[in-house]
């Protein structure tokens, strides 16, 4: 399971030129799945994103988690994170989980995060989404459940 986490001041997802979801201060998580991802990967990543300390404390140090600041979370499915770019210039996607399985995993991930954190929004799996954000810092972290 792969996640690119971006600390934001605000972010939104539009689908078909209409607002679908939006958040204020918190983070956007672009979420991708690989064929061998399972429940253990989901659980690991839920814990990781809720506990990772990427928000400033009163001294300006990165010592607070999303839970500590009661921030917002926007989860966006993104199969392109699993792209294979080792050959040529066109990415291959055989390294991404098949869409029917990835949809189930993404929806479970949203449910699991939402069960532990109140301010959670998401994109729509399979939709052509326009994601807008104001990156704060900028702080962008890459996470992989298999590392």
- Per-residue pLDDT, 94: 87
Residues 74-89 pLDDT 10s: 999 999 999 888 988 9
Domains of the chain are 2-144 (3.50.80.10)
Helix axes 39-51, 99-116, angle to 10 degrees: 40
Residues 3-41 pLDDT 10s: 999 999 999 999 999 999 999 999 999 999 999 999 999
- Where are any strands of DSSP class E within 17-128? 18-23, 26-32, 55-56, 62-64, 72-77, 120-122
The whole-model pTM stands at 0.95
- Per-residue pLDDT, 147: 67
Place of tokens 């294979």: 84
Residues 85-114 pLDDT 10s: 898 898 989 889 999 999 999 999 999 999
How far from chain centre, in Å, is Cα 88? 27
Q: How confident is the model at residue 68 (pLDDT cuts 50, 70, 90)?
A: very high
- Per-residue pLDDT, 19: 97
C-alpha distances in angstroms, 69 versus 1, 31, 46, 119, 146?
25, 22, 17, 11, 28
- Per-residue pLDDT, 84: 86
């Amino acid at each position: 399971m792969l996640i690119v986490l971006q600390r934001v001041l605000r972010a939104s997802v539009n689908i078909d030129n209409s607002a679908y979801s939006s958040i204020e201060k918190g983070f956007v998580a672009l979420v991708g799945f690989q064929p061998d991802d399972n429940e253990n990967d989901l659980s690991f990543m839920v814990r990781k994103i809720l506990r990772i300390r990427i928000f400033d404390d009163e001294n300006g140090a990165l010592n607070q988690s999303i839970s500590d600041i009661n921030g917002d979370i926007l989860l966006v499915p993104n199969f392109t994170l699993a792209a294979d770019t080792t050959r040529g210039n066109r990415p291959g996607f055989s390294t991404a989980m098949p869409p029917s399985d990835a949809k189930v995993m993404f929806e479970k991930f949203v449910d699991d995060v939402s069960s532990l954190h109140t301010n959670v929004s998401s994109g729509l799996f399979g939709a052509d989404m326009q994601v807008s954000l104001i990156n704060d810092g900028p702080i962008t972290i890459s996470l992989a459940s298999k590392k």
